[in-house]
Amino acid sequence: MSSESLREKYGEKLVALGESHKEIVVLDADLSSSTRTGMFGKKFPERFFNMGISEQSMVTAAAGLALSGKKAFVSTFAVFLTRTYEQIRQSVCYNNIDVKFVVTHSGITVGEDGATHQIIEDTGIMCGLPNMKVIVPADTVEVSSLMDYLVEKTRTPYYVRLSREKFPVVNQPDYKFIEGKNTVLRDGSDLTIFCNGSMVGHALIAAEELKHQAIDAAVINVSSMKPFDRENIIKYAKSTGHILTAEEHSIYNGLGSRVAEVVSEEYPVSVVRIGMRDTFGKSGKSWELFDYFHMGIKDIVDAGVKCFLEEDKYETVS
Amino acid sequence: MDWRDLQMGEYSGVTGKTTDFNDDTLLKISKKAREYIIRMVYEAKSGHPGGSLSIIDVLTYLYFNEMNIDPTDQNLAYRDRLIMSKGHASPALYTILALRGFFPVELLMGFRKINSKLEGHVHRGVPGVETSTGSLGQGLGIGLGMALAAKLDSKSYRVFVILGDGEIEEGNIWETMMAASKYKTSNLIAILDRNRVQLDDMTENVMPMGDISAKAASFGWDVTEFNGHDFRDIRRAFAFASQKREKPVFLIANTVKGKGVSYMENTSKYHGSPPANQEEFEKALKEIGAT
């Protein structure tokens, strides 16, 4: 699997779509070289607003632009957007207007910058907002298709979570993003790994290794965190009976929590969650951090194997 | 029905694109508006009369003499926009919109009730409202976005933003003060309701504000102060705002919290409380001169 930068793709798509969609405006808060919105700013300076290190002003101005018929893309690092949670709530979501928050540098893959910059709770925060939809793309193919969808088909608030790191390309070139639909990247009959973002690549490798241990694991990309594909989750809860979740996010209020909610309401099976616990991140290389926080490929494999060990033990006792 | 009915003392809306009233007529309208504000909060047994009474004269002038609006076409592309950033002054805004003909005045009595669109704080679902507000500090940024959109689209509309004086304690305001100066949004006009009282206490006790005029000027805005209850002075301030210029405009309306009802004036007690009983209610109506 070759790796590509999701934020680079975001910048390219903004420029391409900006050409044909004059209603697009872009706002950034002094991070446009990192978020890649600077590419749009260079091409369309009159429609690009560098608001300085003033996220509250950026979000409210985006609301005003959207209320005046513009499609506003707002970008900064994920961690800094959350300081404007209340502006997002009141001025954007309550008005239910066309503002797209596309944030970069989420999660622990920010790496060396450390805990202050590694937000692991943002998806949960945003999913809680009425009218907000939340997408966590897995690769550049998904970002590309998602951007077309957001620009051409939607007029309401979205939160799109991107990262600093390059991610392996996991989707087919003809993949089309469909809101509220999971993508089965690998089918399986013993165990289902629901994952998103950076963890999709990890899960696919882990599934290969599990196969060597005679465990047939499905890998499903849950990029659409809200709306959530309950149907697909219930279907795989029934067909495989074992669920693992893997996310570069806190397991509290994240993908793991949401999957557990769905199966406990509809078809209870055990859910093992891999992700950040109740802890801040730390400085390090991102691959080191995955291991440090027990979110690496080996951790997924071990958790998968353990599902069946536990089951054997249980059967022996009874 | 038109404004003539209102002059005869009926509760009817004023429709039609433009009006140009003399100060006596504006006074009659604002008196009627004050009456509705008191009736609304008393009927709802909650709401914010103090800051509604302080800004109602300015609002009356804006909606009847200044703004380019048409109650029969609320989505008019070139209409002037007004954002009530101090969203708790909803009784004032709802009343003036109704009197101006955006919706029937009879609906005002549904304020804060379960089956009404008239939410406790300013709600975009109400005809004539440009954006929901209620959490302080956000309206100026929204106004900036609207002003930027006007420039992008080469439209000549203006954006008026009403700010509370307690509200400018919010950092969001000063971020936007900088940004509006950067983008030279001369079509953005902030109006500060300087009534000197906020929820807990006098503004100077809660957070000393210093020389607001000098602060706004140093952020790159053109500033003037005026008496927010004197229509002649209000007229002068908006004539100043209409002059051709490069900078955004910051108007400081010196006002009295609770203006027109003696026991509500200059106190935080009626910031967020209606008349306490029938006696207070009737006293308020009498002092306003309700008919």
Q: Do A220 and A270 belong to one domain?
A: yes
Residues A243 and A142 in one domain: no
- Out of B137, B141, B145, name the one closest to residue A68 (CB): B145
- Please state, in angstroms and rounded to a whole number, the distance separating the CA atoms of residues B172 and A36: 25
Domain annotation covers residue A178 = no
SS3 B241: helix
**Residues of B whose CB is below 8 A from A54:** 175-176, 178-179
Mutation target for A interface from B82, B148, B160, B177: give the one with most A CBs within 10 A: B148
Residues A26 and A158 both lie in one domain: yes
Same domain, A38 and A126: yes
CATH of the domain at A310: 3.40.50.920
Residue A132 lies in a domain: yes
A39's tokens: 């590419």
Report the alpha-carbon distance of residue B93 to residue A61 in Å, rounded: 22
CA distance B51 to chain A (A): 21
Among candidate residues A139, A168, A197, the one where a domain is terminated: A168
Contact state of B148 with A61 under an 8 Å Cβ cutoff: yes
* pLDDT confidence band for B291 (50 / 70 / 90): confident
CB–CB contact B171 A56 (8 Å): yes
- Are A148 and A28 part of one and the same domain? yes
Answer whether residue B277 shows pLDDT above 60: yes
Query: Residue A134: beta bridge partners?
Result: A159, A226
List chain A residues with CB under 8 Å of B142.
Answer: 60-61, 63-64, 67, 91
Residue A56 domain flag: yes
Whole-angstrom distance, CA of residue B237 vs CA of residue B194: 14
CATH architecture entry for B3-288 = 3-Layer(aba) Sandwich (3.40)
B14-43 mean pLDDT:
89
DSSP type of residue A11: H
Say yes or no: A12 and A149 in one domain: yes
Given A135, A168, A201, the domain boundary residue is A168
**pLDDT confidence band for B14 (50 / 70 / 90):** low
Tokens of A4: 């590509």
Which residues in chain B have Cβ-Cβ distances shorter than 8 Å to A72?
145
Are A103 and A243 contained in the same domain? Answer: no
The shortest C-alpha distance from A33 to chain B (Å) reads 20
Q: Which of A57, A72, A94 sits opposite B176 (nearest CB)?
A: A57
A200 and A127 in a common domain: no
Comparing alpha-carbon positions, the chain A residue that sits nearest to B161 is A64
Residue A177 lies in a domain: no
Best of B81, B144, B157, B178 to mutate (most A CBs within 10 Å, chain A): B144
Report the alpha-carbon distance of residue B267 to residue A97 in Å, rounded. 38
Instruction: Quote the domain boundaries for residue A73.
Output: 3-168
Do A192 and A161 fall within a single domain?
no
Tokens of A155: 């007029």
Six-digit token pair at B9? Answer: 């003392």
Nearest-neighbour CA in chain A from B261: distance (Å):
32
Do residues A108 and A249 make contact, with C-beta atoms less than 8 angstroms apart?
no
Chain-centroid distance of CA A70 in Å reads 25
- Side by side, the strands of the sheet bearing A243-250 are A183-186, A217-221, A191-195, A243-250, A271-276
Distance from CA of A179 to the nearest CA of B (A): 27
Question: What is the spatial distance between Cα B216 and Cα B176, in angstroms, rounded to a whole number?
Answer: 11
pLDDT value at B2 more than 80: no
Indicate if A271 and A200 belong to the same structural domain.
Answer: yes
Instruction: With beta carbons less than 8 A apart as the criterion, state whether B257 and B229 touch.
Output: no
Task: Give how far B233 is from chain A: nearest CA, Å.
Answer: 30
What's the one-letter identity of residue B67? M
Query: pLDDT of B147-161, one tens digit each?
Result: 999 999 999 999 999
Q: Are B94 and B108 in contact (CB under 8 A)?
A: yes
What residues 67-126 of chain A have any CB closer than 8 A to a CB of chain B?
67-70, 72, 86-87, 89-91, 94-95
Kindly report the nearest CA distance between residue B44 and chain A, in angstroms.
Answer: 23
Interface ipTM:
0.94
Residue A248 lies in a domain: yes
User: Is the Cβ–Cβ distance between A147 and A240 less than 8 Å?
Assistant: no
Å between B146 CA and nearest CA of chain A: 5
In one-letter notation, the amino acid at residue B51 is G
Quote the pLDDT of residue B93. Answer: 98
Say what the alpha-carbon torsion angle A299, A304, A306, A307 is, to the nearest 10 degrees.
140
A57 interfacial to chain B (CB closer than 8 Å): yes
pLDDT at A313: 54
Q: Backbone dihedral region of A143: left (phi > 0), alpha (psi from -120 to 50 degrees) or beta?
A: alpha
Contact A214, A241 (CB under 8 A): no
Residues 6+ apart with CB under 8 A from A280: A115, A118, A120
A57 vs B contacts (CB less than 8 Å): 141, 144, 172, 175-176, 178-179
- Test the B interface: residue of A49, A91, A92, A131 with most B CBs within 10 Å: A91
Q: Which of B51, B80, B280, B83 is nearest to B165 (CA)?
A: B51
What is the spatial order of strands in the sheet that B249-254 belongs to? B81-84, B159-164, B188-194, B249-254, B222-227
CB B108 within 8 A of CB B79: no
Going residue by residue through chain A (318 aa), what tens digit of pLDDT does each one get?
Answer: 799 999 999 999 999 999 999 999 999 999 999 999 999 999 999 999 999 999 999 999 999 999 999 999 999 999 999 999 999 999 999 999 999 999 999 999 999 999 999 999 999 999 999 999 999 999 999 999 999 999 999 999 999 999 999 999 999 999 999 999 999 999 999 999 999 999 999 999 999 999 999 999 999 999 999 999 999 999 999 999 999 999 999 999 999 999 999 999 999 999 999 999 999 999 999 999 999 999 999 999 999 999 998 666 555 544
Contact residues on chain A for B124, CB-CB shorter than 8 A: 94-95
Nearest chain B Cα to A93, which residue? Answer: B132
Closest in A52, A63, A91 to B179, CB measured: A52
Contacts of A87 in chain B (CB under 8 A): 138, 141, 172
Nearest CB to B152 within list A47, A54, A94: A47
Please list every residue in chain A whose beta carbon sits closer than 8 Å to the beta carbon of residue B134: 90
For residue B191, what pLDDT is reported? 98
Q: How far apart are CA A13 and CA A33, in angstroms?
A: 15
Residues A15 and A91 reside in one and the same domain: yes
Every domain of chain B and the residues it spans: 3-288
The number of domains in chain A is: 2
Residue-wise pLDDT for B98-140, tens only, equals 999 999 999 999 999 999 999 999 999 999 999 999 999 999 9
Residues A148 and A240 in one domain: no
Taking residues B203-212, report their average pLDDT: 97
Give A126-169 as a 3 state SS string.
HHCCCCCEEECCCCHHHHHHHHHHHHHHCCCCEEEECCCCEEEC
